């Protein structure tokens, strides 16, 4: 069994799909089965630092291999922010709508040609003995002016990937996983998970 270090149901669903497609057949459980594990402070200054902090904390607490990710939206006009602050951009952790509305208001005056952005993800595996592996993935695009679509979570309704006209919230889960930052990071990590856990 592998523990996914998140209580975000949207993320758990995505990771199950991505890892199953990558051939990982071990059962996966989310943190909802471990109510005794409290909030893990994301004090890192990079996605990789935070992913490793979470994976190690959960591997240690559960005695099981743990997978974590940290991801976010990096907006060029905001020097790469919200970045590691994506989930708490509005000051309230996990309020997707408040975070997204704030971001749109902040860059309201930024013209279309300066609205490039990318989703970034660091995916980490940690074992109870301290072994760790990490991989990164990106999805380049641009931030539009009003949310569109109901799929995904977080900033999905406002990012249009390069070469597409739909937001990532307007893609099917399969389409999104095929190109997403999280898909790319976990597909890069999956062979390392398989090697370590066989």
Q: Nearest approach, Cβ of 101 to its own copies (angstroms)?
A: 7
Alpha-carbon distance of 92 to 183, in angstroms, equals: 26
Q: Does 92 engage in binding with its own copies (CB under 8 A)?
A: yes
At 125 the three-state DSSP class reads strand
End-to-end CA distance of the chain: 12
Binding range to its own copies, per CB under 8 A, among 1-9, 12-20, 22-30, 38-46: 38-46
Burial 163-172, CB ≥16 within 10 A → b, else e: eeeebbbbbe
11 is known to lie in a ligand binding site: yes
- Active site annotation includes 69: no
What the block records as the tokens of 155 is 């900033």
Q: Are strands 28-30 and 2-4 parallel, antiparallel or unpaired?
A: parallel
Alpha-carbon distance of 14 to 9, in angstroms, equals: 9
Binding range to its own copies, per CB under 8 A, among 2-10, 20-28, 30-38, 101-109: 101-109
Asked whether the beta carbons of 24 and 189 are under 8 A apart, the reply is no
| Residue choice 28, 102, 116, 188 for contact with its own copies (CB under 8 A) | 102
Q: Does 155 engage in binding with its own copies (CB under 8 A)?
A: no
155 is known to lie in a ligand binding site: yes
Q: Among the options 17, 33, 70, 164, which is catalytic?
A: 70
Q: Does 138 engage in binding with its own copies (CB under 8 A)?
A: no
User: Please, which residue, 105 or 146, has the CB nearer to its own copies?
Assistant: 105
Residues taking part in catalysis: 70
Interface contacts to its own copies, rule CB under 8 A? 41-43, 45, 77-81, 83, 85, 88-92, 101-102, 104-111, 114
């Amino acid at each position: 069994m592998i523990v996914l270090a998140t209580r975000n149901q949207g993320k758990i669903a995505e990771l199950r799909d991505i890892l199953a497609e990558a051939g990982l057949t071990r059962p996966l459980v989310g943190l909802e089965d471990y109510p005794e594990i409290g909030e893990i402070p994301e004090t890192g200054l990079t996605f990789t630092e935070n992913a490793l902090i979470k994976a190690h904390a959960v591997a240690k607490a559960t005695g099981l291999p743990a997978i974590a990710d940290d991801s976010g939206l990096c907006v060029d006009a905001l020097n790469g922010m919200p970045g590691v602050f994506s989930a708490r951009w509005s000051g309230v952790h996990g309020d997707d709508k408040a975070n997204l509305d704030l971001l749109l208001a902040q860059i309201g005056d930024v013209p279309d040609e300066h609205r490039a952005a990318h989703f970034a993800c660091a995916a980490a595996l940690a074992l109870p003995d301290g072994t760790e592996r990490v991989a990164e993935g990106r999805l380049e695009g641009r931030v539009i002016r009003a949310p569109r679509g109901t799929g995904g979570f977080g900033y999905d309704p406002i990012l249009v990937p390069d070469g597409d006209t739909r937001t990532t919230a307007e893609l099917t889960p399969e389409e999104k996983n095929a190109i997403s930052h999280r898909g790319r990071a976990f597909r890069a990590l999956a062979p390392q998970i398989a090697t370590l856990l066989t």
